[in-house]
Structure 1
Amino acid sequence: MFKILRTKLIYLILSVFFLGCSSSHHDFEEKNSEKEIIQELEKVISENLPKDRSISGAIVKKDKVIWSKAYGVSDLSTHSMSDTATIYRIGSISKPFTAFLMMLLIQDSIIHLNDPVELYLPEIKKLKGYSGATKITFQQLATHTAGLMREPELADAASGSIDNWESKILQAIPTTSLESSPGEKFSYSNIGYGILGLALSKAAKKPFIELIQKRIFEPMHMNSSYFIVPKERKSDLSAGMQALSGGETDTKTPLLEHAGRGYKVPNGGIYSTPNDLAKFMRCIRGASPNLVTSKNLALMQNKMIGIGEQNSYGVGFFINQVEEPTIVNHGGAVAGYTANFAFAKENNYGIIFMRNYSEGEPDIYELPFELLTALNKIKE
């Protein structure tokens, strides 16, 4: 439990996960089999899921999904119940996809990890404080070590049509400051990943969304993953619910954001399902299709920059190394939706959760750490 609390505290400090923390504890580690642990998980979800809310999840073992279920109401206005085809926004779990695309372009020799981004996106020179002595590389953007502030100071940066996201990035760059020297320290930056996505697009001379679809979604057969949910799948889209102060719920903002999120496409624009993200998880761990070399996959999942004493960030992923198992993960939180994607390096298990609400039980940021720790102790 100490490991979990420390990890969650780090996320809170970074403001990566800005939800309220739960102090609940479950009995996963007291179970003696995979079956018992999954039964306990189902009990936790069934007993704690708030009324009129939805949660979906999947557990991956090696290269197979061994558990996949959905619970609750996916759309209160239509009283639709969720199922394993229900689609959610994944928020910042989009960042590992952008990092994965970067690795693909490196393998294609289109870019190099330590190339200055200005070679492909000269507009980056308009950053506040940028100079010849502060050139930013692809590696620094991908590891949150570019020294950039978290959000730009452009008033409407996170609003507007998805078709205009590149324009929003270019408008946002001159309003974005360097808070530290590139390469000096970890500083989580949404605008940094927005700039990274645009720079990759410019380097490849193809639209970013097209690159993700053609280079990642299609070869992995991620047929329920989108930047814009098509009309024929709108009935599968869960309706997001954002908690407000005083116990009220905002459903309008999550609905409006389906039309566009301004610059937040490479850093938070993807929609998916747990089963689709399981395909990405298998590929990240080296299963077919082998799109990225084992060396580059290891680079993504190994320490590139420290965060505190026993936590770090790789390329697109957080790494928790307080005790075994070492857990590689990324979470996501946008208006009305939360998600978590986590897997253990020392064993074969990975876990994905998605919700259509912003806070409350079950705590999908704590659960993966408890589950993976318990599964790590099972003797097969």
Structure 2
Amino acid sequence: MDAVRDMLENNKKIKRWSALPNHSPSIAWIVRGEKFFWTPEGNATEQGNQSKNKNKNKKRPEPRYEIGSITKTMTAFRLAQGEQDGLWQPSDTLAKLIPELESSDFARQATLRQLATHTSGLTRLAKNQVLAKRDKTNPYAAYTEKDLIEAVLEEKFRSGSKHEYSNYGYGLLGWALGRISGVPLHEALRRELFDPLGMNATIMPVIEGTQPNTSSSNEATGSGAAKNVSGGNEPASSDTLTVPGFAPGGRPVRHWDFTSAMAGAGAVRSTARDMLTYLEAQLGQHPAAASFESSLLACQNEQASVAPSKGVGIGYAWMRSMRKDGTVTHWHNGATYGSSSFAAFNRDLQSGFVILSNRGVSFAGQIKQMIGLGELSTDRAAHLVAEVLFKNE
């Protein structure tokens, strides 16, 4: 797709953004089955990469990134897949499925569908997740299953709640699906999504207990006691390394740790190549995804309205935007303190893209971007890519 590559190489804002100190972004896109990859150091098609590496014994190290809230689309897939397997129904309430939550006013009325569409009335964070009393650089590391259950037991249900984005809600959803099925979310995703699609570099590290490594260093392979899907420390492989993260302004920050209580909201780490494979499945182009196509479509289908007048809705996690040409673009972004990401696809146009960055965005930085100041964000870079990639001529 020459138009996208040309834009990335010649757009002045993209050039400044990609050249920020310690910045190592990766951008990948797919058009009717053909894959493309771009970094500031160079770019190639999927076929080109294969031919270049054909006679090499050692693969080029591939960076892994924290993908933040794009994780929610994978948690949502687990919900849809469990529906197909008869483990639960979207209209089931938490209290119906988890007896220990029966005394909660919220759990007796909130459904799995409401959690998946951010319409349960839960706020962005639980009331008992007081960041001031925890490690501010690693905000979810000390939030345990006990904390989560205590929060839900105290929660009141708000009838008629509209769409309100909630990390709390998706942490609860991911935990609940694991508790109901007896299979932790990270293990279910490995079995049902990552392994079948060949997303071998994608992991959901989950720490055990409440004692993550408090070292101030930001190791390339992850943080301290984080456990990967196979139960050991995140592998320090020459093929896949989690890149160090940097806050706006270039200050190094640690990777985030998650317990099972909040992993469903943002714990996954992945590579541009694996994420493009994920989008390939969303587009119906991956042969291994045929067996769970119905679950992918359930996540894409509109489950709740967000802004009807603007043609914006939500499936299970995936946001849906109706374009002027009548096609629908699905998207989700994500961020930690030291990373930002964006994934989007248009099934009608059979194309999609992912942007992974090891640079976070501050609240002040978001305000500056709204008025055209400050450094380019991953979200704004995504807008530029989408303008070119989804141009329907």
The separation in 2 between residues aligned to 1:241 and 1:38, in whole angstroms, is: 26
Of residues 195, 212, 216, the one that matches 2:193 is 216
CA contact (8 A) 1:126 1:173 kept: no
1:59 alignment counterpart? 29
CA displacement at 1:120 relative to structure 2: 2.3
Provide the aligned C-alpha RMSD in A.
Answer: 2.7
What residue ranges of structure 1 are gaps of 5+ in the alignment? 1-33, 73-82
1:301 alignment counterpart? 300
Please state whether the residue corresponding to 1:333 is helix, strand or coil. Answer: strand
CA displacement at 1:130 relative to structure 2: 2.8
1:239 alignment counterpart? 244
Please state whether the residue corresponding to 1:170 is helix, strand or coil. Answer: helix
What residue ranges of structure 2 are gaps of 5+ in the alignment? 42-59, 206-221, 223-233, 362-373
Measured at CA, do residues 260 and 195 of structure 1 come closer, stay the same or move farther in structure 2, by a change above 3 Å? closer
> How do 1:184-263 and structure 2 match up within 5 A?
184-228=161-205, 230-233=234-237, 236-243=241-248, 247=249, 249-252=250-253, 254-255=254-255, 257=256, 259-260=257-258, 263=261
CA displacement at 1:294 relative to structure 2: 4.3
More moved, 110-119 vs 224-233: 224-233
1:130 alignment counterpart? 106
CA contact (8 A) 1:343 1:351 kept: yes
CA displacement at 1:172 relative to structure 2: 3.4
2:125 alignment counterpart? 151
Of residues 327, 331, 355, the one that matches 1:353 is 355
CA contact (8 A) 1:282 1:288 kept: no
CA contact (8 A) 1:56 1:355 kept: yes
2:10 alignment counterpart? 43
2:328 alignment counterpart? 326
Please state whether the residue corresponding to 1:87 is helix, strand or coil. Answer: strand
Q: Deviations over 1:179-218 (max 9, x none)?
A: x31x642111111111111111122111221111111111
The separation in 1 between residues aligned to 2:260 and 2:80, in whole angstroms, is: 25
The separation in 2 between residues aligned to 1:377 and 1:103, in whole angstroms, is: 31
Measured at CA, do residues 226 and 167 of structure 1 come closer, stay the same or move farther in structure 2, by a change above 3 Å? farther
The separation in 1 between residues aligned to 2:181 and 2:63, in whole angstroms, is: 33
CA contact (8 A) 2:94 2:107 kept: no
1:285 alignment counterpart? 283
CA displacement at 1:345 relative to structure 2: 3.2
Measured at CA, do residues 110 and 261 of structure 1 come closer, stay the same or move farther in structure 2, by a change above 3 Å? closer
The separation in 1 between residues aligned to 2:287 and 2:103, in whole angstroms, is: 41
The separation in 1 between residues aligned to 2:83 and 2:324, in whole angstroms, is: 32
More moved, 234-243 vs 209-218: 234-243
CA contact (8 A) 1:160 1:262 kept: no
| 1:169 equivalent in alignment to 2:167 | no
Q: Deviations over 1:284-320 (max 9, x none)?
A: 2223212565444333223222222221111110111
Matched residue type, 2:271: T
Matched residue type, 1:288: P
Matched residue type, 2:296: L
Matched residue type, 2:299: M
Q: Deviations over 1:57-112 (max 9, x none)?
A: 110123342x112337xxxxxxxxxx771011000000000000111111111111
More moved, 92-101 vs 41-50: 41-50
User: RCO higher in 1 or 2 (8 Å CA, sep ≥ 6)?
Assistant: 1
Measured at CA, do residues 336 and 112 of structure 1 come closer, stay the same or move farther in structure 2, by a change above 3 Å? same
Please state whether the residue corresponding to 2:331 is helix, strand or coil. Answer: strand
The separation in 2 between residues aligned to 1:274 and 1:176, in whole angstroms, is: 38
The separation in 1 between residues aligned to 2:75 and 2:319, in whole angstroms, is: 15
More moved, 278-287 vs 297-306: 297-306
CA displacement at 1:175 relative to structure 2: 5.3
CA contact (8 A) 1:103 1:292 kept: no
What is the TM-score of this pair, normalised by structure 1? 0.76
Please state whether the residue corresponding to 1:187 is helix, strand or coil. Answer: coil
Measured at CA, do residues 40 and 148 of structure 1 come closer, stay the same or move farther in structure 2, by a change above 3 Å? same
